[in-house]
Structure 1
Amino acid sequence: MKASKIAYKPVGLALGAVSGMLAGVAFRRAWKMIGHEDDAPEATDRDRSWQEVLVAAALQGAIFAVVKAAVDRAGAATTQRLTGTWPG
């Protein structure tokens, strides 16, 4: 395993945590705009429809995937700029 890949591991873990927090904030804001309420439905919430639960899950998954990819890509590009090597 390359030294740059090993050195990037802690950075990647930190970026993963940050991206999770950012995605959570983005999802809550998006759900407030779309669902017009503060809390998204839980899968086990009896008072919510299948449609509500599945739309919330799909939106949450999409937001998390996009935010994670953007943060990971930015971290790798910054690492290359600073070290001259791509971490992956």
Structure 2
Amino acid sequence: MKKSKLMYKPVGLLMGAATGMMAGALFKQAWKLLGHEEDAPGATDEERSWREILLAAAVQGAIFAAVKAVVDRSGATAVRKVTGTWPG
């Protein structure tokens, strides 16, 4: 296994935890702006419509994917700066 890939493992684990927290906080703020409510609907929320539930899920997924891409790319860039090679 390449040195850069080995170095990236612990960085990736820490970044993964940070990704979830950041994405959750961003989604909560986005939902307040979009839905004018504190909490997004859950899939089993009987009082909410299919449209609202699917919209919340789509927004949450898009935010998580974008945050994950930023965090992963930043981590890989940092490893390249330290080791001189891209963790691939």
TM-score of the aligned structures, taking structure 2 as reference length: 0.96
Give 1:1-80 correspondences, 5 Å limit.
1-80=1-80
Structure 2 counterpart of 1:82, one-letter code: V
CA contact (8 A) 2:79 2:85 kept: yes
The answer to whether the aligner puts 1:83 opposite 2:67 as a matched pair is: no
Q: 1:2 Cα deviation (Å)?
A: 1.5
How far apart, in 1, do the equivalents of 2:4 and 2:70 lie? Answer: 20
How far apart, in 2, do the equivalents of 1:26 and 1:77 lie? Answer: 23
TM-score of the aligned structures, taking structure 1 as reference length: 0.96
Q: Which runs of 5+ in 1 are unaligned?
A: none
Decide which moves more: 20-29 or 77-86.
77-86
Q: 1:8 Cα deviation (Å)?
A: 1.2
Q: Which runs of 5+ in 2 are unaligned?
A: none
Aligned identity (percent) is 65
Q: Say which SS state the counterpart of residue 87 (structure 1) adopts.
A: coil
How far apart, in 2, do the equivalents of 1:35 and 1:72 lie? Answer: 29
Q: 1:16 Cα deviation (Å)?
A: 0.8
The size of the alignment, in residue pairs, is 88
- Bigger RCO of structures 1 and 2 (CA < 8 A, at least 6 apart): 2
Q: 1:7 Cα deviation (Å)?
A: 2.1
